[in-house]
Structure 1
């Protein structure tokens, strides 16, 4: 770091390093234009003996002027003048810091534990933006409003979005919020302890407590960068959270075909709910050998129950015999599907 940049950072830090008394006194003087020391004490909780030291500290920073009269008056300096030099210094400092910034590689670790609220929000933003065909979300109402524009862009781009809003008591009603513009299907779940979750295309995901977003206790988030581990989040979301929530809005039928899925549950649900015959392309692994498999053909049959916890389908193999297809870490079926492309026959 250059001496000039270090000096700038020290100057900016010194100007903004205000204590509680200094902040209270400064805001009181700003509001009234000018005050005496006694008036500041009356307007704030600053003890009378501390007022003089406090206003002199503000004067040294160029935030107020001290007019030696009887009694002494503390006069506010126009904030545009008081912070004008800092504003330009801060802008220059940020530019130079950004020039030095090296973005960390996102995929260096399979699992990352983060405790910063800003980092959790940044990863949530990245996951939403990176989704190419499928996005599963569990958001608080505040986060829903924060990411509304980004979600509208994903929906407009043809991404399937399952949105869970929690707690249900604070979720906007469908009459006052256009859920269909931000989600293929939206549900609300009761329970303040429901975690914040985002999964993009079954590969990149985050799990965080609601407390972590409130800067409260138990502040942590877990980032999963590989699909085999991200399945832990996706599976928990699909079986525990999604199936215990009430529907707010759904617009699944309007999405065009072909549709791409990372979740077997979502693919089979569309086959189950939409009429007609379907053609499917599956990329995955043989459950017994682990070898890569590519299947393509008509959907012969499917299995789907109301709880959405059972989902599979069968497609004709190379020899014409039915091959059963399940989701990630499937055991009962023949194939573990990692990516499914569904189209109308």
Structure 2
């Protein structure tokens, strides 16, 4: 079935000629601005905005603002169900739409704003499955079950997955079982008040949507390390640091691997103060070139901006909020190693493995 016949069939299904033409055009483009859709179709420029809003009201597409009005084809399940209830010709049209439609990738922009939570969840699902190092995610139990297969894939691939669960607005939480958590994460904690959905993937991607009680439903999807770093501190302070651990795959047996340098420092600083020798392997990249590196050596020193006033041996997170690094002596020299967002250190660590403590 060619585009003209598909357009005609959609007109038979109840769309206006302009609506059918715009929808078929958008299927081909994936996502595009209103101006680009008008230029690629027969819809006049003055009519394109009304046509797109009518298609959105009918559930065929979703629109979003990104400098100007943009649109993408919505999940076609409802459209397909309607078409398949009609004659054989509509069945052919539904198969053609299913073949042409695939959830479009985000456009080549740092920030995209979408109108529906399910778009955010779908993008998070895709990014989590492709993760290589770490996932930090805060979500309701029902959202956890929606994304559990993606989280399990990441966990099986050796990704460090931290999950903060919180209740849905107005609902009693039904927490996942230990078996469900062990399949899908490295560690899980529970916060007893509703919170926004948040997923941070590999220190680059941020997927965010307000909690269910918010007045407006929208989502933000950002591919930017600086933005993700800011949300990382929200995750650490609001969704992680003070909340109860309900599952952990970690133990005290060596080797112990960290994806967070600051958590590593909290455990290593007391050992250094006791005069212990701590041997480690650092995976990361050079801060000036971005080249990946793997270093083996002995942690000889640590640096952090704060001064602890606590009697506890573990350094409080608040004291690690500024500059934080460790010094690693290797056979090739001595290097400084920073964490997420390192700029003045020789290397940014993505993983630190404590191999031995003497």
Structure 1 match to 2:190: 188
The unaligned stretches of length 5 or more in structure 1 are 15-81
- 1:313 is aligned, of 302, 305, 326, to 326
Distance in 1 of aligned mates of 2:178 and 2:92: 43
Structure 1 match to 2:244: 246
- Structure with higher Rg: it is 1
1:127-146 pair list within 5 angstroms:
127-146=127-146
Q: Secondary structure at the match of 2:86?
A: helix
Quick check: 1:174–1:248 contact (8 Å CA) kept in 2? Answer: no
Superposition deviation, residue 126 in structure 1: 1.3
Asked whether 1:264 is paired with 2:241, we answer no
For normalisation by structure 2, the TM-score amounts to 0.61
Distance in 2 of aligned mates of 1:117 and 1:93: 28
Change over 3 Å in CA distance of 1:90–1:342 after alignment to 2: farther
Q: Secondary structure at the match of 2:251?
A: helix
Asked whether 1:342 is paired with 2:353, we answer yes
Structure 2 match to 1:10: 11
Q: Secondary structure at the match of 1:86?
A: coil
Distance in 1 of aligned mates of 2:237 and 2:319: 6
- 2:226 is aligned, of 195, 206, 228, to 228
1:291-302 pair list within 5 angstroms:
294=293, 296-298=295-297, 299-301=299-301
What CA deviation, in whole Å up to 9, does each residue of 1:200-255 have, x standing for no partner?
111222121123xx7x6222221121323322222321233211322111112399
Change over 3 Å in CA distance of 1:320–1:226 after alignment to 2: same
Change over 3 Å in CA distance of 1:249–1:175 after alignment to 2: same
Structure 2 match to 1:31: none
Change over 3 Å in CA distance of 1:251–1:131 after alignment to 2: same
Change over 3 Å in CA distance of 1:101–1:344 after alignment to 2: same
Number of equivalences:
268
1:31-180 pair list within 5 angstroms:
86=86, 91-101=91-101, 104-106=104-106, 108-167=108-167, 170-173=172-175, 178-180=180-182
Quick check: 2:138–2:163 contact (8 Å CA) kept in 1? Answer: yes
Please give the root-mean-square deviation of Cα atoms over the aligned residues, in Å: 3.9
The unaligned stretches of length 5 or more in structure 2 are 16-81, 304-313
Distance in 2 of aligned mates of 1:264 and 1:134: 13
Change over 3 Å in CA distance of 1:90–1:278 after alignment to 2: farther
What CA deviation, in whole Å up to 9, does each residue of 1:263-303 have, x standing for no partner?
323554676899994422243455xxx56575723233457
Quick check: 2:302–2:326 contact (8 Å CA) kept in 1? Answer: yes
Q: Secondary structure at the match of 1:325?
A: strand
